[in-house]
Amino acid sequence: MRPSGKALGVVGFLSLAAAAAASVVTSWRGRPPVLTQPVPWRPRLEPGVPRQVGVVYNPAKSLAQFSCDALAHATRSIDWPEPRFYETTPEDPGRGMTEQAVEDGCDLVIAMGGDGTVRQVAGVLENSTVGMGIIPLGTGNLLARNLEMSLSDLHSCIDTALHGRPRRIDMIGLQATRTDGTRDHLTYLVMGGAGFDAQIMTDTRDDLKSKFGWLAYVEAGLRNLVSVRHPVVIQIDDQDPIRRKIRSVLVANCGEITAGLHLAADSTADDGLLEVILMTPRNLIGWASLTSQVISRRRNGLPVIEHIHGKKVVVDFGASPQPVELDGDLLGTYGRLEAEVRPAVLAVNTYPENITPFRSLANLRRTGASGSPRWRWGRFVS
């Protein structure tokens, strides 16, 4: 699986900016494109009560039909009803199909595709009694990474989507106000960003993306490296507003992006909190320090990245509206963002941790003297 430049533009830049990250990405890009690498320390799960499965899938993904056939075979082998399949379209990336699946009586809806498909399905199933599974076919697969799915093993993903243990996770609701005063009401699962990361996505050249994939985002990042910082006023919960000049502001539900890189300090998908990440480097030295802190997960360098936890945040860009992206999808330019965590509103099937016999191998970590995680090696083997 290749890391996605779309996953967050800033990550593509940061991951190339340090030699360690570059070597990680190189090894990740060398993986076979087909999800057929079995994960031996994750035994197959026992089927439960038969369920009517609905599959909302993106037919544009190269493995979509193969994955649909594999899932249908898996349900037939345990005498479950035939799954119902719903294709997304450019006009409707999944919301209408999910609503139809629920109306048709499906009690488990599986999102089969990239981050956009997952976000659309989750938006419908929020606060629903219908369960959700994920078969990640994208390049970023942000939520799947944060839920520790085995991205290299399609059959393990199908097994988990069908028979995994429901884990109730948070979502973030966002009210985004445009410069003309119109408001968009949105939800997302992993991370939303404004400023540098979204600007990279806006400025990335299509011809370079077609030739070089996610590396095209690095070229756009270099062009924006010396851009000005933007003033912003931020209020978290009922605290006093704070003023900063930022390159980027991120509001995260959870923090792993790709290849074991974490932008959020310690957020998880079910902690009932959001994490605001402010990036404020002034120059190349600041960017170098920020890169080092992200790679090492230490926060003892220059004060160029700030992490604040809360349940609600208001971000006002004043006279400098910024481009905004959610889970890697570019939305447009906005002047004000209001985000609030919605705790435990989505039930997603995940692999039960307590039955993994070699979990210590899958989660092998290198720790520093403080004992805090320094590098998540488990992401390279699962």
For 177-232, how does the pLDDT look when each residue is reduced to its tens digit (9 = 90+)? Answer: 999 999 999 999 999 999 887 777 777 777 776 677 667 677 777 776 767 789 99
Q: In tens digits, what is the pLDDT along the chain, a chain of 382 residues?
A: 444 444 445 544 554 443 333 333 333 333 334 455 555 556 789 999 999 999 999 999 989 999 999 999 999 999 999 999 999 999 999 999 999 999 999 999 999 999 999 999 999 999 999 999 999 998 789 999 999 998 889 999 999 999 999 999 999 999 999 999 999 999 999 999 998 877 777 777 777 766 776 676 777 777 767 677 899 999 999 999 999 999 899 999 998 876 667 888 789 999 999 999 998 887 788 878 777 777 777 766 677 888 999 999 999 999 999 999 998 888 999 999 999 999 999 999 999 976 644 443 444 343 343 333 332 323 323 3
With left for phi above 0 and alpha for psi between -120 and 50, is residue 10 left, alpha or beta?
Answer: alpha
Angstrom distances, CA of residue 279 to CA of 195, 231, 235, 282: 10, 12, 16, 10
pLDDT at residue 341 in the model: 98
Q: 74 and 200 in one domain?
A: no
Asked if residue 313 and residue 190 are part of one domain, the reply reads: yes
CATH code for the domain in which residue 205 is found: 2.60.200.40
What pLDDT score was predicted for residue 10?
53
Does residue 143 sit in the same domain as residue 248? no
**Mean pLDDT, the chain, as a whole number?**
81
338 and 353 in one domain? no
- Counts for the chain of helices (H) and strands (E), in that order: 12, 20
327 and 356 fall within a common domain: no
- The reported pLDDT for the residue numbered 12 is 47
Same structural domain, 337 and 196 = yes
Q: Encode 333-362: b = buried (16+ Cβ within 10 Å), e = exposed.
A: bbbbbbbbbbeebbbbbbbeeeebeeeeeb
**Residue range of the domain that includes 302:** 7-27+172-344
Kindly state whether residue 142 falls inside one of the protein's structural domains: yes
Residue 378 pLDDT: 33
Answer whether residue 2 is part of any domain: no
- Same domain for 44 and 182? no
The reply to whether 1 falls in a domain is no
Which tokens in the block code for residue 328?
């890697």
Q: Is 94 contained in some domain?
A: yes
End-to-end alpha-carbon separation of the chain, Å? 11
Instruction: Identify whether 264 is part of a domain.
Output: yes
Residues 150, 179 share a domain: no
221 and 285, same domain (yes or no): yes
pLDDT digits (tens, 9 = 90+) for 77-124: 999 999 999 999 999 999 999 999 999 999 999 999 999 999 999 999
Q: Which helix (H) or strand (E) holds 64?
A: helix 64-76
In a domain, 272, yes or no: yes
User: Does 76 share its domain with 134?
Assistant: yes
- The answer on 130 and 239 residing in a single domain is no
pLDDT at 41: 56
For residue 89, what pLDDT is reported? 98
Opening angle at CA 248, ends 243 and 251, nearest 5:
85
Other C-beta atoms within 10 Å of 59: how many?
A: 13
Residue 241 lies in a domain: yes
How many distinct structural domains can be found in the chain? 2
Kindly state whether residues 338 and 225 are assigned to the same domain.
Answer: yes
Give me the CATH number covering residue 118.
Answer: 3.40.50.10330
Domain assignment of residue 109, yes or no = yes
